[in-house]
Structure 1
Amino acid sequence: MGLFKFIKRLLSVSETSIKDSKQSDEVTVSAEIEPYVSPKKPATKQFQEGGQRKSTKLSWQMYGKNPTRETDIVIGFDFGTSCTKVIIQDGVLKKAYAVPFNGVGCAGNPYLLPTAIAVDYDGNLILGQGGELFDALKIKFLQNPDQSIGPFNGVTLTAAEATSAYIGLVLRKIREWFWQEKRSDYQGVKIDWQLNIGMSSRSYADKILKSQMERLALAGWNLTLKPVDEINVSEVKIAMVSADRQLSENIFDEEAQQLHPDNICSIPEIIAQVVGYARSPMRQDGMYLIVDVGATTIDVSNFIIHESDGEDLYTILVAEVEKLGASIFHNYRIACAETIIRKFISTAEAENFRQKALRTLGLAYDGIAPLPNIEKYFPALSREALRDYRKNNEEFMVECSRVVRKVIKESRFRRNPNSPAWQEGLPVFLCGGGSQIGMYKNIIPHAQKRLSHAAFSGFDQKQLPKPVNLETADIPPRDYHRMSVAYGLSFPCIDIGEIIPPGAVEDLVANEKILNISGYYVDKDMV
């Protein structure tokens, strides 16, 4: 089976003039498109809908009537395709905490929470495996927020409603952990909460989708304010109506502990991923590439980190997202293995393998754990069969490399051809849960080899540094990259800096010398 046909069948979803002609990464923003500008902290404006002071279990505040001090805490909510990761950060104490999801998180790593909800037999929406599972939330939301899903135990809901319910359930877990672990530190403290949620770099330019994500996050917060533990579809609908009113009138009920709409922000995940690096001693201004390998997609972005008047600027030049993530690779390998067994052994054995793979390998693999070793697919096949199998793996890797080369070609010859990084080496970060799989580690060397005739000196691969203020000893530095988006999201919007989307950056017409060498760039895989 061809790779393109396989991916199409598996999933149906698919995401400034550079003014100095010298060796520079400075950019000029087009006046026709307004870049993202971080909102200012809102003034309090209230409306009353009744309601009583929430119990300790359901309250976001513990200060009582006379708080001794006030602080800002930001929830960095990395809403991933396979798993969600959360880090909260105290802006006054400069301390960040990764939130574990004990009991409902992934086996072996409680900081990873499956992006799925279940409907129990009473029709309530819950986290975990206690009912009929509704997974692939993010994919379904990006496909069509209004599509109906279900029924699950008699419950039908839209992708938007399921996403909002999930956000609300996760926020409850965050609050529960916070008061269990940090209660003594924040007794008598008034907390001003903020919520930042990640989006893909490509989706970030979609203003409708961006607004929809912030609406669902606001509704999810509202679901945490209800006086009972259970969440059902009717309550989700009510929370969304309340969020719509807040957004249309730009209001909130502080007494009821609602968030002001301006305290919820959606931020490009790729930019959030490097915020920690941009604030570290390792930071160097200039152009970068980041390859984020998720469960379903790889997200490849080329951007510039620079500064203006003391504010960080993140200029996104090129962003590509394709369905070539770890779970796609896993399913592709199973499909290829079935074909090879059918060819070299028998149709009956191929069918037996497929059933076994679905029971043991396919279902066991959650888009997070390492891929099974190749010998588990082929315990007793010939060298010729193994050679065919490895060839299929190579084809998938080449397709991933093509996405990287596509981004490089676009930036090298159209978006930012005069960057010094083309001669000095382009810094690249390989991140995400799937990035530790051997096949994905080969993407960067393969792309560099194919780009050898593109007037490009190569990549300078770097590791994202674990922030010193992240108080989580059981996340080693080598694994921090999986939490890096959540960490970047845990800063106030006004402190992250200005994010300039690709549409606000005009192409640069390169000088003649650079244009003349473009003829040497010949790569059939880039056509």
Structure 2
Amino acid sequence: MKSWKEQLRDAKKNLQGNHSKKTSDEKPTVVDFVPPASWLEASPTNGDDTLPLGSKSSVTQGSRDSCKKNRPTAAVTVSAPAGPRSKRGGAGANDQKEDAAKNLPGDPPIPDDARSPTQNQTSPTPVFRPHVDGGRSLAMPGWADAGSSLQHPEYQGGAPMVVRIGVDFGTAFTKVAIRAGVDLVPVDWSAVTSDESPTGQYVIPGFVHRAPDGEYFWRRFAETDIQGNLKLPLIEMAGSDECPKATLAYLALVIRYARAFLYQHPEVGRKLVTRSLRWELNVGCPTEPHERPAVVDLFRRIARTAWQLAGVNHLQESSITAAWRSGEADVGLETEPGVVPEFVAQIAGYLGSRQVSGGLYALIDIGAATLDVATFNVVLPNDLDSSPRIPIFFSAVRPLGTHYLNHNRHSRLDLDFAWDDAAPVEPADGFAKRHGKRRDDVDTVDSEFASRVARCIAGVTDGTRTNSRGDPRSSAWSDGLPIFVTGGGSSCELYRRAIETGELDLKRRMYLPSNFRFIELDPLGARFQHFGIEIGGRLSVAIGLTEDAESIARVVPHHDIGPIMRPGTERIDHTELYGD
């Protein structure tokens, strides 16, 4: 006869073999996750397609990581909370590295149908450089020289006016908006790019030319060197004193042109003649790196130096380096440049609207280079707070933007690498006809790419739903998760299809009628209806950055958030009801 221990072991095995269906009122599994210490020191490799921000090799690994394609990715980023080490982490650094290479503790399980099939790429993913109509050249107009001055060319003196410039410095393109008093001005770049299309008019590609003598400018010569990929390497530079010369030159040109554009604006420019302009500057920063003080300090220093260099006629390497080293404090700004998380600037209009409500939210930002996914809470202000608080739960950034969608199509279908990143993504049927390909072949390539997008979304939402560092008890999981879909690729059918896949997967996991509740952003508001929804959507971050940086919202980093404890119902003693 078997002992009681053996009988108990057999009973456990039998129970484990009977996978009964979960009921709708079953509580989600809570996974207590403490990351290895190495995660807090450097950007981890979070699996397939995860972009460790600031890593120069993050967009050049390509087929080297093809063997990792089917491994679930971690939803937790570098900024995960510090604390006691997990028991799974082992005792030494080698154990930590080994854990980082496996399915990480706290990693939400990714369903098989959300995994990306093994790719057979014909070429590795390149370092990002935007494709603009096969290499359209840029040219700074002569009237832009007026932007070297901090006052209108016909300045007559007068009462002060606060003018705030919001610079959405993107990986692929930059967008700028200016708030001068009550006027909001989106900067039109067609004088530089010669692109007057609705999609390309308000974006400037992220590259600059460098001549052999070390001068940077916007015009093309055969002997000049094109400098691109100006944003991603900055994250890796945080904490060092390295001078990002090309980035500084590019932003100096952006600021100079933006100021000149405001001066010559037919309606707003004439108001500036009799006002003394007091300038402020806000720049956007990716969500996860913003939690690192060294990154915020670097972005602020870059913004301040670029503002100073915008008044220099010739941007020579020597003058750029000198301005970087000098660290001059008085550069003509009323306050230090504001560095605002991009997703917070993106929803600034919503946070100040009447429709805002507190609770759990998700945001999916589809840019030209990257796909950003984040979950966060909105805590509305009370008597002690003058602005909302935004606790960030989980975020992921991957090179899955529209540029890499186009790159994947052209690479997998053996086509020449020629497309326009400023234009909307071509639908699959139109792409197939134009390139003489079978629609089924394009659909197969697109489906594989869409599954990678869906995995990214599922990783973040599942982490938030199951991890104690997320918000597993939020009513949004049953009532519908409010979600913002933003960025230049938000209208692309492929990304919409991937989001629907994430929604269906969430329903399957919850066994509830859980769904996504899409929130339409109106960044321009009712006062600027003549700009239209299309312009507002493309410029949502830049417009949000024209608000006072201190009043938009107060961000609570992921590592400062403890497990959310929902108060239970207090049990009443029977003596309080019936007496002794």
Fold shared, TM-score > 0.5 on shorter chain: yes
Deviation at 1:388, TM superposition (A): 4.5
Partner of 1:451: 506
Matched, 1:422 2:485: no
Partner of 1:133: 226
Partner of 1:203: 289
Partner deviation per Cα, 1:81-113 (whole Å, 9 max, x = no partner): 1110011113xx332111112322472232101
Partner of 2:321: 237
Pick one of 306, 324, 327 that aligns with 2:403.
327
Pick one of 349, 359, 384 that aligns with 1:286.
359
Q: Distance in 1 between matches of 2:435 and 2:333?
A: 60
Structure 1 residues 376 and 396: CA distance shift in structure 2, 3 A: closer
- Structure with higher strand content: 1
Deviation at 1:294, TM superposition (A): 0.8
Letter in 1 for 2:273: Q
Q: Distance in 2 between matches of 1:336 and 1:77?
A: 35
Pick one of 466, 478, 481 that aligns with 1:413.
466
Deviation at 1:10, TM superposition (A): 5.6
Q: Does the 8 Å contact 1:63/1:189 carry over to 2?
A: no
Letter in 1 for 2:388: D
Deviation at 1:146, TM superposition (A): 10
Q: Distance in 1 between matches of 2:277 and 2:257?
A: 17
Pick one of 380, 390, 400 that aligns with 2:443.
390
Q: Distance in 2 between matches of 1:395 and 1:106?
A: 36
Pick one of 170, 181, 188 that aligns with 1:80.
170
Partner of 2:269: 183
Partner of 2:456: 403
* Larger RCO (CA under 8 A, 6+ residues apart): 1
Matched, 1:113 2:204: yes
Count of residue pairs brought into register by the alignment: 426
Identity %: 23
Matched, 1:96 2:151: no
Structure 1 residues 379 and 494: CA distance shift in structure 2, 3 A: closer
Partner of 1:20: none
Q: Distance in 2 between matches of 1:66 and 1:387?
A: 66
Q: Does the 8 Å contact 1:106/1:113 carry over to 2?
A: no
Partner of 2:73: none
SS in 1 for 2:279: strand
Q: Does the 8 Å contact 2:300/2:336 carry over to 1?
A: no
Partner of 1:518: none
Letter in 2 for 1:321: V
Partner of 1:467: 524
Q: Does the 8 Å contact 1:145/1:160 carry over to 2?
A: no
Partner deviation per Cα, 1:433-452 (whole Å, 9 max, x = no partner): 11221101112211011111
SS in 1 for 2:202: coil
Partner deviation per Cα, 1:200-249 (whole Å, 9 max, x = no partner): 101111221221111111110110233xx221111111221232x53xxx
SS in 2 for 1:75: strand
Deviation at 1:194, TM superposition (A): 0.9
Letter in 2 for 1:408: T
Partner of 2:278: 192
Deviation at 1:405, TM superposition (A): 1.1
Q: Does the 8 Å contact 2:187/2:202 carry over to 1?
A: yes
Q: Distance in 2 between matches of 1:146 and 1:12?
A: 24
SS in 2 for 1:446: helix
Higher Cα radius of gyration: 2
Q: Does the 8 Å contact 2:167/2:542 carry over to 1?
A: yes
Deviation at 1:143, TM superposition (A): 4.7
Q: Does the 8 Å contact 1:272/1:488 carry over to 2?
A: yes
Q: Distance in 1 between matches of 2:488 and 2:310?
A: 29
Deviation at 1:409, TM superposition (A): 0.9
Structure 1, 163-172 or 278-287: larger mean CA deviation: 278-287
Partner deviation per Cα, 1:164-189 (whole Å, 9 max, x = no partner): 11111111001111111233202232
Matched, 1:212 2:298: yes
Deviation at 1:377, TM superposition (A): 4.3
Q: Distance in 2 between matches of 1:322 and 1:428?
A: 19
Partner of 1:45: none
1:128-527 to 2 correspondence within 5 Å?
128-129=219-220, 131-144=224-237, 160-181=244-265, 182-226=268-312, 229-243=313-327, 245-246=328-329, 252=330, 258-259=332-333, 262-308=335-381, 309=383, 310-338=386-414, 354=415, 357-358=416-417, 362=418, 364-366=419-421, 368-371=423-426, 373-374=428-429, 376-377=431-432, 386-414=439-467, 415-455=470-510, 457-468=514-525, 471=528, 473=530, 475-508=531-564
Partner of 1:345: none
TM-score normalized by the length of structure 2:
0.67
Pick one of 7, 11, 15 that aligns with 2:60.
11
Q: Does the 8 Å contact 2:427/2:493 carry over to 1?
A: no
Partner deviation per Cα, 1:3-60 (whole Å, 9 max, x = no partner): 958998963499xxxxxxxxxxxxxxx999xxxxxxxxxxxxxxxxxxxxxx965321
Letter in 2 for 1:488: G
Q: Distance in 2 between matches of 1:65 and 1:374?
A: 55
SS in 2 for 1:133: strand
